[in-house]
Structure 1
């Protein structure tokens, strides 16, 4: 009997021990061992637990692990918030439902003081030793660089996806990712990886081009605490040869000499083989050149038909323009000789031919230069008490005009307007009618010579024929004009001796035979218009 009693007592003791052991094993907390965070960012500490089926959990608190016995600094408490440690106070919050076995903690703004600290939860006020499971906080002030990858073949014309990713601890306020130095719309995805880590991924997709080769693409991450980090990735795009050019080792190559040609191109990888072709092409860029460029009337000149083609130009046709059409000339070489050039406007075009085709040049006007020639339509008239003198000259290059009134009052003002139409310059002098003004001289000059015309004013609306003077005649007219003017000045002085005293010397008379011309503007034909003042 004694032996049976002892056996029963032993069995009961084993049951009690097993019950205590099983009850203790049902309390279990799951935490990551370490968590990383950036200052200024939030930190989510994932926490879950299991409990005995006989116990219903109601609350959870968090504590700062301390090696000092009997000291349990609070990190979070819903019942005693004032007792929470200062650097955690107001920064912690419980996430999830404790009754469902969740004890996750949110730290809203991590500081450098949190670095290296270990924390742990405590469920209700049970006797289980929760401080055996802690999580250590690793806090940094510097952001890690984002990781960049490329998917797809970097070949011109193919689609390419560039990805940029970063890990973080704050899903409520995640960092931002942005691509630099490349267009394209970015897509962003966030994924929870577990143990308090989240992955933020941003991607851009584009079609690779040759211009993308060697171009850096940057990705920048910005955290809520203001930390920034950037990673650059250089694109290496393969593309076929382009910008193919041929260069020669010398210019101005003469017929019969050697020349070395080099074929160059832009390609990645570099071109490995080349093929040369003898290309044939019809004439292009056909034009006419003149030599000499500025011949005078009566001289000779030559026109040359120029162009490019392969094989070289072998035949030429010359045409002289006449009205709306043209006349084909007998010349069939590239040179057309012109002799005894005249003032007449003559224009030509040429046709260049090789075995591949033909091409014509623009119409070219032969440039011929000559001294001014005053035309017969030059005249003077008086209408409505206004004198109007018109001097018309043909010259190339354009002439400059000088007007000289032979008899006029002092301080008299004249208007001059000149207009150029092709090679014809028309200069018009207008002034109020004066009894003393009877003649004007029109002098036209260019670099090849000059022409002089004296125009007389006899009465209202009367056209006076003009005469042209040159060489010795011009000198005689000037001398005659000077004598007449001197005589008139002497006569005027005598006539007004009693009312006004004027004392002119011979030198003064010579000076006052010139005009002071002040140009005020330029008309649409490019010839100055202005006013003439007699002094």
Structure 2
């Protein structure tokens, strides 16, 4: 008995015998469709046999947001179709001739850019998504006039999400160049994601250099940043991000440590004032990295300079006198920095300054008394022992830092006695001011010395007139016209 079986629209089979356990089919070919032929177990197909082979990996890792390249190599062909592996149907991943047949999940995202004449059947999937994970695909070669079982050679795509990795060199020094790397793993060799840096605004003269390398079937894309470090960057943060088509991933945040010499050195006294011949504790605060290991303490007192080296940032000073100034030099492994001079506010009793005195011009007396003290002193002046000044005297007081001045003026006699007293909470000082007389006219001796000079000038004028002007002037020329003859 013969039985005709319709296997597909293009293949007819005639049953020749069924007397043995094996069924024999005679196959007549019309046109073979690109869909794979499922052969029931125990059926032997008689075909024109041509040797075809493909070379594809069993698994490949893709990065979400990137593209994935599924390498495929076979003999020269006309075109290929890629399918998603399925036990009951044939979902199309890529079909050049019938793009509408491509499954919605892959439409517009797949391509086969290789040269078919060279046997390249590589598949590219753009914008890899999370739901592409564990996708199994296989290729079908056209024309397919041979026995193909490429659905047995599937490629499993494993989707991973990667964030950039940021790193900096171990030691960064102020005013020196340093570099930082931002690297991202991607599965798309010809379109790495753009990298964006989040860095300190104090970075100077920065530039970027990019390169990539293949690592375990994927590509490591790296941007290296060069820049001039500044101490203001110390403890600032840095990170980078990768901008894929459908998502953005960020690196971990790192905190920069910049080595720099002391840039701000400040002296802080434990109290604002100190009593003369007393003591005080001073702290030297420093902005540096690392912390100073040596402090040089400078003391300037009565025009004498002394220095003390110490490992302590606090120093005790005793026997403080007025006009004492202190400074600190901090040293670390990078360099040194010096503070400004700190002028101590030393409290002491008033002292009347030597420039305090009086001047008598005619009958007008002017007196100035100056006293240095801390806190500022109060000044009062007496004339001939009277605590209250006459009403016709003018009095003016001025205050400066630690110096107070008192000035009086009025009619007085040479025999007047002026006394100045300055006092504050710590003591007082009293001094009788000296009086010097000033004349409003020239002294007699100065007038006598000037007479020979006047006579000499008169003689010179007469000589010049007689020699140069007599022949030119008919009348006697007055001396006020003598300049006409010169």
Is 2:194–2:242's contact at 8 Å kept on the other side of the alignment?
yes
Match of residue 65, structure 1, among 72, 85, 95: 85
Q: Relative to 1, partners in 2 of residues 1:209 and 1:319: Cα closer, same or farther, differing over 3 Å?
A: farther
Task: Find the aligned partners of 2:82 and 2:366 in 1 and give their Cα distance.
Answer: 108
What's the secondary structure of 2:252's corresponding residue? strand
- The residue that corresponds to 2:262 in the other structure is 241
Contact conserved, 2:370 with 2:405, CA < 8 A, in 1?
A: no
Shift of the 147–102 alpha-carbon distance from structure 1 to 2, 3 Å rule, reads same
Q: Secondary structure at the match of 1:277?
A: strand
Change (3 A) 1:209 1:32: farther
**Could you say if the C-alpha distance between residues 113 and 46 of structure 1 is closer, same or farther in structure 2, counting changes exceeding 3 Å?**
closer
When structure 1 is superposed on structure 2, of 310-319 and 214-223 the one drifting more is 310-319
**Alignment counterpart, residue 145 of structure 1, candidates 163, 168, 186:** 163
Aligned Cα root-mean-square deviation (Å): 4.4
Question: Does the residue aligned with 2:172 lie in a helix, a strand or coil?
Answer: coil
1:44 aligned residue: 68
Would the alpha carbon gap of residues 362 and 109 (structure 1) be closer, same or farther in structure 2, given more than 3 Å must change?
A: same
Change (3 A) 1:179 1:310: closer
CA spacing shift, 1:163–1:319, aligned 2, 3 Å: farther
User: What are the Cα deviations for residues 456-510 of structure 1, in whole angstroms up to 9, with x where unaligned?
Assistant: xxxxxxxxxxxxxxxxxxxxxxxxxxxxxxxxxxxxxxxxxxxxxxxxxxxxxxx
Query: 1:155 touches 1:238 (CA, 8 Å); kept in 2?
Result: yes
Tell me the distance in 1 between the aligned counterparts of 2:118 and 2:267: 79
Partners in 2 of 1:201 and 1:343 — Cα distance?
88
How big is each residue's C-alpha offset from its partner over 1:327-373, in whole Å with a ceiling of 9 and x where there is no partner? 998979648764438665868899xxxxxxxxxx99998699xxxxx
CA offset at residue 235 of structure 1? 0.5
1:130 maps to which residue?
150
TM-score (norm 1): 0.46
Give CA deviations for 1:228-278 in whole Å, capped at 9, x if unaligned. 434211011222234223333344322343433333323322222323232
Q: In structure 1, how many angstroms separate the alpha carbons of the residues matched to 2:366 and 2:79?
A: 112
1:105 and 1:160 mapped to 2: Cα distance? 42
**Residue aligning to 1:210:** 231
SS at match of 1:103: coil
- Is the Cα contact below 8 Å between 1:345 and 1:365 reproduced in 2? no
Q: Distance in 2 between matches of 1:31 and 1:150?
A: 36
Please say if residues 265 and 284 of structure 2, whose CA atoms lie closer than 8 Å, have aligned partners that are also in contact: yes
2: CA distance, partners of 1:157 / 1:279? 33
What is the CA-CA distance between 1:147 and the residue it aligns to? 0.5
- Worse-superposed segment, 243-252 or 147-156: 243-252
d(CA) in 2 for partners of 1:320, 1:363 = 16
Q: 1:105 to 1:195 in 2, by over 3 A?
A: farther
Q: Does 1:114 align with 2:132?
A: yes
**Counterparts of 2:74 and 2:200 in 1: how far apart (Å)?**
51
Secondary structure in structure 1 of the residue aligned to 2:273:
coil
TM-score if structure 2 supplies the norm length? Answer: 0.50
Checking the alignment, whether the CA contact within 8 Å between 1:317 and 1:329 is kept in structure 2 is: no
Within a 5 Å distance, the mapping from 1:16-415 to structure 2 comes to 27-31=53-57, 33-38=59-64, 41-51=65-75, 56-68=76-88, 71-124=89-142, 125=144, 126-139=146-159, 143-151=161-169, 153-170=171-188, 174-183=192-201, 184=203, 185=206, 187=208, 189=210, 191=212, 193=214, 197-279=218-300, 308=323, 316-318=353-355, 334=372, 338-339=381-382, 340=389, 344=394
Q: CA offsets, 1:364-409, max 9 Å, x none?
A: 98699xxxxxxxxxxxxxxxxxxxxxxxxxxxxxxxxxxxxxxxxx
Are the equivalent residues in 2 in contact too, given 1:97–1:103 (CA < 8 A)?
yes
Instruction: Report the Cα distance in structure 2 between the residues aligned to 1:268 and 1:42, rounded to whole angstroms.
Output: 42
